[in-house]
């Protein structure tokens, strides 16, 4: 056989026996290229004709294809005897294939090298193979065919794969210490694709490890700017976390982190979608998971309500697993209820619980508030569990709204003793902070966390047998699909269905970036009218009422039903009952919806809106969804009004997150109406948005909305409207809502004028005005004079008490208690917080009750009563609203890091602090990098490594020149940069008298001692003396900077007061002994002494 070499990287070239071959024209070249790109698999004649002639074949295309194949056979096998069967370009029903060794085609060799590399454990050997693969793939694939879709797709795949391989090679190389030599190649790689975040990440790490921290940070900041300018997005979690790690000099940046290349060279789909109820086949390989669910069910009878969380990517079989589990438990006498969180907008808040209610044989009642909904669901579950244990399945919890999660937490408390097992299924990669916080809040009743992987080979074989009978006996097909789908049941199902219509070659198709491409191929086989009906059904959501669909389609009923029947037979739709159809997976619906032109979608949404409005009691959320999707300048006013109504409904159902999104849509759509919405209505929408965002914990979205509302109301001259806008921010506040150092006075001055011009305004309104002004000025005032803020708080509390309005009273006490977290009114803190708790509890104001427990947590921490602090933190989480939950869970987790610091377990503390910093960065928190630095300051202080902070503090001061000046001074002094330290000390400003005052004052005292400023030492001694016996900073719940008495001892030494210094050291030792005992009581055992002497405190 002749030696053949085909090159696809670059222009197509063919060598036979080391001699170049002339392929005679573009079409024979295209045929050979198309077959070579198929990787040796069969390409059908239909596919070849369609590809070579770009969808417009001549009348006798098959004859022309045969001529080209005949020529290619002669060129590739010049010595083949006449009539002898071809051995290179072979006929194989239903088309042709190339039969060549892997090394004969450069793209085949490239992917074979990757497979070999994936199987090797030795990193040096693996890097060598990856380098070889990179060297043979340097040119773009088939540039002469860039206009051909078949070539462009494969070229893009291989280019992306090569980029991934380069990044894998770089990751391994850096673990081998090659970071300096990798920098030029990574710079070229990034220049070729400046928006590739992994390239940025690797280059930044390489630069950092090469000692070029400034360049590393510059790359990250440049990437942030490019992403914002070109895509309008922020960097992903990995880049944000890396920036925080570099600023913090995280140890992980220097530790080897092996990145293993993927075993399969075909890229697997991100988030492939879930299958339907094909429980027999897809349950194969899930016996272990089912056994874990069965075991959890057995604990319910004795222990009461328990939860099991099931996570996986889309399509891996979460729904199927829960269906099989439900079948097994139902057979054992259990009752079963199911609710699904909707994948599309337009459903009312807590819809999953409405489905749970309905699945138990009762229609969901009309609900007016979150309390009524919780009471109705709770009563129904109590009734059911009186007769039998109950399984509640909540599916797609990654899409859960705040009301759904809040009700789950409420029921877990109220029904703790009832025999209920909750299965919560979610997509792991799409689960947000609210769901994560719910997991933490329900940790005590969680018995299992199950993460599903792909099916085994046996499971894949069974699915193929179900959807493509006969192909399950083809070992190559089964192996190919198992490898290329990763065992994802939906991928396997869709490829099996495709094989049923297109033959075995469909199995060789590389798994696309999403299964949507496979679905599109299947959709093209439906009749045109059927595809249109499916697109119209997609506009209605995952599930559609058939009668409504017929009316929207505006075509013959039989034609619509025929189209639906075709889709059901094709496995694209299910029929949950005779009146409804449901897409078998959300991605089927999403593919159809996204592929429908926007203009047509808008018209169908408008038709749905018209039809839904004729119902006797139309659902406002559904009306708003369709109205917003169909909005034009002519209809925008109506759409905005519907969205505003839906936002109000969501607020009533305690779903502030959903209300916020709806109110934002209402405002945005009102702007589209070009003056058709009155100023008053616009302001009222902005007020709703402000309140919803505030109660969602989204101050950064609430404040701009309030500012705009105030500006519009002021221009209108309507005093009532202005007062409503000024007092729109109504939510419990535990952290400053106005950024430090901002010039944001657009609300402060109107607030002052309103208070001055309306001294006899409604007392409740005055309270809200006073509270709003307090939180506008407190952050700036903390750096100087807080007397005005204190006076405003005193008036707010007095007026609120006189009104009897519980919410206003809580708001006033909230402001006063918040101000008492600083040093000036600390003696009032316990009384204020106690009153806040009493008023909130008596009036069922859960948000303020949770806030009161958070304040009590800080009070107990200030006293170093660790047992009480932990108890109060747990109560705060238990009582929290969904808008507070994520933040309070973070508080509890950070406090665990503080306890580890106090116990001298610095490695454990570092792990917890850095995990917390990464979570904050992943949420997109603007100050996450700065908070990460604060955590590193705590660790450096206790490890006596302050000098390590100089670079991080320099970078921080480039952005915030006044941030933690005393820390910068201590770091410079520790590094021996005395002159710089003294220069920095000269620029100091007073320590802000807020919740971090004691922490910073203890550091300030040490800095004064370090630079020898005796005047400031004396002042610091006088300031700190009343706080002896405490741990500096623990009153914030997030940091600890040693025992105050140790700082006083250092100050006394500096001031020449030796006897006082000795007394303070003795007092510090007493605190240490007491603290060690308290740590032991809460289960945190001290491990090592503090570098400053004594325990870690």
pLDDT of residue 273: 31
pLDDT tens digits for 791-820?
Answer: 999 999 999 999 999 999 999 999 999 999
Percent of the chain with pLDDT over 70: 89
**pLDDT average, residue stretch 203-217:** 85
State how far the Cα of 690 lies from the Cα of 514, in Å rounded to an integer.
38
Q: Are residues 431 and 306 in the same domain?
A: yes
Q: What confidence score (pLDDT) does residue 1039 get?
A: 95
pLDDT the model gives residue 1015: 96
User: What does each C-alpha distance from 1003 to 114, 294, 941, 1042, 1044 come to in angstroms?
Assistant: 54, 55, 9, 9, 10
Determine, yes or no, domain membership for 736.
no
Predicted confidence at residue 479, as pLDDT, reads: 78
**Residues 1009 and 934 occupy one common structural domain:** yes
**pLDDT tens digits along 922-935:** 655 556 677 888 99
- Residue 1051 has what DSSP assignment? H
Choose between 956 and 356: higher pLDDT. Answer: 356
> Do 950 and 1074 fall within a single domain?
yes
Q: What is the pLDDT of residues 580-607, one digit of tens each?
A: 999 887 778 888 998 899 999 999 999 9
**Residue 855 within a domain:** no
Query: What are the residues whose beta carbons fall under 8 Å from the beta carbon of 121, sequence distance 6 or more?
Result: none
For 442-446, which contacts have Cβ atoms below 8 Å and span 24 or more sequence positions? 442/307, 442/408, 442/409, 442/412, 445/304, 445/305, 445/306, 445/307, 445/412, 445/416, 446/306, 446/307, 446/308, 446/309
The pLDDT, as a whole number, for residue 700 is 84
Q: Is the pLDDT of residue 403 over 50?
A: yes
Boundary residue ending a domain (434, 454, 474): 454
What CATH number does residue 408 fall under?
3.40.50.300
For residue 742, pLDDT beyond 60: no
Who's near 746: CB < 8 A, 6+ residues apart? 707, 710, 711
In this predicted structure, which of 9-13, 207-211, 752-756, 872-876 has the lowest mean pLDDT?
Answer: 207-211
| Per-residue confidence (pLDDT) for residue 515, from 0 to 100 | 63
| Total of domains in the chain | 6
Q: Are residues 976 and 1066 in the same domain?
A: yes
Q: What is the DSSP letter of 227?
A: I
Note whether residue 247 is domain-resident.
yes
Contacts (Cβ under 8 Å, ≥6 apart) of 212: none
- Cβ atoms of residues 796 and 774 within 8 Å: yes
pTM greater than 0.75 (yes/no): no
Final residue in a domain of this structure, among 104, 136, 171: 104
**If pLDDT is split at 50, 70 and 90, which confidence band does 1087 have?**
low
Same domain as 437, residue 298: yes
Same structural domain, 398 and 469: no
Whether residues 295 and 428 fall in one domain = yes
Which has more pLDDT, 1025 or 300? 1025
Confidence of residue 242 (pLDDT cuts 50, 70, 90): confident
Name the domain boundary from 585, 608, 629: 585
How does the average pLDDT of the chain come out, rounded?
Answer: 85
Residues 497 and 469 in one domain: yes
Q: How confident is the model at residue 506 (pLDDT cuts 50, 70, 90)?
A: low
Nearest Cα residue to 223 out of 195, 245, 262: 195
Positive or negative, the CA dihedral 147, 151, 155, 157 is: positive
For residue 20, the surrounding DSSP H or E stretch is strand 19-20
- Asked if the model's pLDDT at residue 256 lies above 60, the reply is no
Mean pLDDT of 439-446: 85
Residues 962 and 259: beta-carbon distance below 8 Å: no
**91-118: pLDDT as tens digits:** 765 668 899 999 999 999 998 998 888 8
Write out pLDDT tens, residues 412-438: 888 989 999 999 999 887 777 788 888
Q: Taking 60 as the threshold, does the pLDDT of residue 510 lie above it?
A: no
Whether 593 maps to a domain, the answer reads no
Range scoring the smallest mean pLDDT among 145-154, 662-671, 823-832, 964-973? 145-154
> Does residue 797 lie in a domain region?
no
Token digits of residue 79? 């010595």
Beta pairing, strands 446-451 & 543-545:
unpaired
Supply the Cα-derived Rg of the chain in whole angstroms. Answer: 34
990 located within any domain: yes
Domain containing residue 358: 286-454
Residue 485 and residue 390 share a domain: no
CATH of the domain at 537: 1.10.10.10
The pLDDT value given to residue 790: 95
pLDDT tens, 42-82?
887 778 888 888 877 787 676 678 778 888 988 998 888 86
For residue 511, pLDDT beyond 60: no
The reported pLDDT for the residue numbered 923 is 56
Residue 502 confidence (pLDDT): 63
* CA atoms of 764 and 272, how far apart (whole Å): 53
Q: In terms of domains, do 349 and 403 share one?
A: yes
Residue 38 located in a structural domain: yes
CATH assignment at residue 223: 1.25.40.10
Round to whole Å and give the CA distance between 6 and 105.
5
Q: What CATH number does the domain containing 956 carry? A: 1.25.40
Residues 429 and 320 in one domain: yes
Confidence of residue 1096 (pLDDT cuts 50, 70, 90): very low
927 domain-assigned: yes
Residue 510 sits in the same domain as residue 545 = no
Instruction: Give 3-state DSSP helix, strand, coil % of the chain, rounded to 5.
Output: 65, 5, 30
Predicted local confidence at residue 508, as pLDDT: 57
> How many C-beta neighbours within 10 Å does residue 277 have?
12
Say how far residue 651 (Cα) sits from the centre of its chain.
23
Which one has a higher pLDDT value, 237 or 538? Answer: 538
What pLDDT is stored for residue 919 in this prediction?
76
Of 876 and 572, more confident: 876
Strand partners, 308: 423, 448
Question: Pick the residue with more confidence: 708 or 456?
Answer: 708
């Amino acid at each position: 056989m002749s030696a053949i070499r085909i090159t696809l990287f670059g222009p197509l070239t063919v060598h036979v026996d080391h001699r170049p071959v002339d392929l005679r024209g573009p079409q024979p070249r295209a045929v050979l290229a198309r077959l070579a790109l198929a990787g040796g698999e069969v390409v059908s004649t239909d596919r070849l004709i369609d590809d070579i002639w770009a969808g417009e074949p001549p009348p006798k295309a098959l004859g022309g294809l045969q001529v080209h194949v005949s020529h290619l056979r002669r060129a590739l096998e010049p010595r083949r005897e006449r009539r002898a069967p071809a051995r290179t370009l072979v006929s194989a029903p239903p088309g042709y294939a190339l039969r060549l060794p892997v090394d004969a085609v450069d793209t085949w060799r490239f992917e074979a090298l990757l497979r070999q590399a994936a199987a090797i454990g030795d990193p040096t050997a693996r890097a060598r193979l990856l380098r070889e693969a990179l060297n043979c793939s340097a040119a773009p694939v088939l540039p002469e065919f860039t206009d051909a879709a078949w070539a462009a797709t494969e070229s893009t795949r291989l280019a992306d794969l090569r980029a991934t391989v380069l990044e894998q090679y770089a990751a391994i190389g850096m673990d081998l210490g090659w970071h300096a030599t990798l920098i030029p190649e990574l710079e070229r790689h990034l220049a070729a694709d400046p928006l590739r975040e992994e390239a940025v990440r690797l280059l930044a790490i390489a630069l950092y490890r090469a000692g070029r921290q400034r360049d590393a940070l510059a790359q990250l900041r440049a990437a942030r700017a490019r992403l914002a300018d070109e895509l309008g997005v922020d960097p992903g979690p990995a880049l944000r976390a890396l920036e925080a790690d570099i600023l913090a000099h995280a140890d992980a940046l220097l530790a080897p982190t092996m990145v293993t290349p993927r075993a399969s060279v075909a890229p697997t789909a991100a988030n492939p979608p879930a299958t339907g109820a094909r429980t027999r086949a897809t349950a194969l390989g899930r016996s272990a998971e089912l056994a874990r669910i069965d075991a959890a069910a057995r604990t319910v009878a004795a222990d009461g309500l328990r939860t099991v969380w099931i996570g996986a990517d889309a399509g891996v079989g979460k729904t199927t697993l829960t269906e099989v589990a439900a079948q097994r438990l139902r057979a054992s006498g259990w009752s079963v209820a199911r609710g699904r969180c909707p994948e599309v907008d337009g459903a009312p808040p807590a819809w999953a619980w409405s489905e749970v209610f309905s699945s138990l044989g009762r229609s969901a009642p009309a609900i007016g508030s979150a309390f009524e909904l919780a009471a109705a669901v709770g009563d129904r579950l109590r009734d059911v569990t009186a007769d039998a244990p109950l399984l509640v399945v909540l599916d797609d919890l990654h899409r859960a709204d705040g009301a759904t999660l809040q009700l789950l937490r409420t029921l877990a408390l109220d029904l703790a003793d009832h025999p209920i097992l909750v299965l919560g299924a979610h997509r792991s990669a799409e689960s947000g902070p609210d769901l994560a916080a719910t997991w933490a809040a329900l940790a005590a009743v969680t018995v299992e966390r199950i993460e599903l992987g792909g099916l085994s080979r046996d499971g894949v074989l069974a699915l193929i047998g179900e959807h493509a009978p006969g192909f399950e006996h083809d070992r190559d097909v089964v192996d190919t699909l198992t490898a290329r789908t990763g065992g994802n049941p939906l991928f396997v199902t869709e490829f099996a269905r495709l094989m049923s219509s297109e033959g075995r070659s469909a199995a060789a198709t590389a798994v696309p970036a999403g299964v949507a491409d496979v679905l599109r191929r299947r959709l093209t086989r439906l009749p045109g009218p059927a595809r249109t009906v499916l697109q119209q059904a997609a506009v209605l959501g995952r599930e559609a009422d058939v009668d409504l669909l017929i009316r929207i389609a505006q075509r013959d009923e039989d034609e619509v039903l025929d189209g639906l029947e075709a889709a059901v037979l094709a496995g694209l739709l299910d029929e949950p009952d005779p009146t409804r159809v449901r897409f078998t997976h959300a991605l089927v619906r999403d593919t159809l919806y996204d592929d429908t032109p926007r203009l047509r979608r808008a018209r169908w949404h408008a038709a749905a809106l018209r039809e839904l409005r004729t119902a006797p009691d139309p659902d406002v959320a559904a009306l708003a969804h369709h109205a917003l999707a169909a909005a034009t300048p002519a209809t925008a006013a109506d759409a905005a009004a519907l969205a505003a109504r839906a936002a109000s409904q969501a607020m009533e159902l305690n779903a502030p997150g959903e209300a916020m999104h709806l109110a934002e849509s209402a405002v945005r759509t009102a702007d589209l109406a070009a003056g058709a919405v009155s100023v008053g209505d616009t302001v009222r929408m902005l007020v709703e948005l402000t309140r919803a965002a505030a109660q969602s914990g989204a101050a950064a979205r609430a404040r701009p909305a309030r500012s705009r509302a105030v500006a519009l109301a002021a221009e209108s001259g309507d005093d009532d409207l202005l007062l409503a806008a000024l007092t729109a921010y109504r939510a419990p506040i535990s952290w400053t809502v106005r950024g430090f150092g901002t010039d944001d006075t657009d609300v402060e001055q109107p607030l002052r004028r309103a208070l001055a011009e309306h001294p006899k305004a409604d007392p409740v309104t005055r309270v809200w005005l006073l509270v709003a002004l307090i939180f506008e000025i407190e952050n700036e005032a903390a750096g100087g004079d807080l007397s005005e803020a204190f006076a405003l708080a005193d008036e707010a509390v007095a007026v609120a008490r006189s009104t009897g309005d519980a919410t206003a009273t809580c708001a006033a006490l909230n402001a006063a208690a918040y101000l008492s977290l600083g040093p000036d009114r600390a003696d009032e803190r316990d009384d204020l917080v106690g009153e806040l708790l009493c008023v909130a509890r008596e009036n069922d104001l859960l948000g303020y009750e949770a806030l009161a427990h958070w304040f009590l947590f800080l009070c107990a921490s200030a006293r170093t009563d660790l047992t009480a602090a932990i108890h109060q933190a747990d109560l705060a989480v238990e009582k929290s609203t969904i808008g507070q939950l994520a933040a309070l869970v973070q508080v509890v987790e950070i406090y665990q890091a503080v306890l580890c610091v106090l116990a001298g377990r610095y490695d454990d503390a570092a792990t917890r602090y850095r995990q917390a910093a990464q979570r904050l960065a992943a949420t997109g928190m603007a100050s996450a990098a700065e908070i990460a630095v604060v955590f590193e300051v705590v660790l450096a202080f206790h490890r006596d490594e302050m000098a390590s902070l100089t670079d991080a503090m320099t970078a921080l001061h480039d952005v915030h020149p006044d941030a933690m000046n005393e820390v910068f001074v201590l770091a410079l002094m520790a590094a021996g940069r005395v002159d710089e330290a003294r220069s920095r000390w000269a620029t100091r400003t007073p320590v802000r008298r807020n919740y971090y005052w004691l922490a910073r004052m203890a550091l300030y005292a040490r800095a004064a001692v370090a630079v020898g400023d005796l005047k400031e030492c004396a002042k610091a001694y006088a300031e700190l003396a009343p706080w002896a016996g405490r741990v500096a900073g623990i009153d914030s719940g997030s940091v600890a900077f040693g025992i105050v008495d140790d700082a006083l001892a250092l100050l006394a030494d500096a001031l020449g007061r030796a006897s006082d210094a000795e007394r303070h050291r003795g007092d510090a030792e007493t605190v240490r002994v007491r603290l060690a005992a308290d740590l032991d009581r809460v289960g945190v055992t001290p491990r090592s002494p503090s570098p400053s002497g004594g325990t870690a405190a």
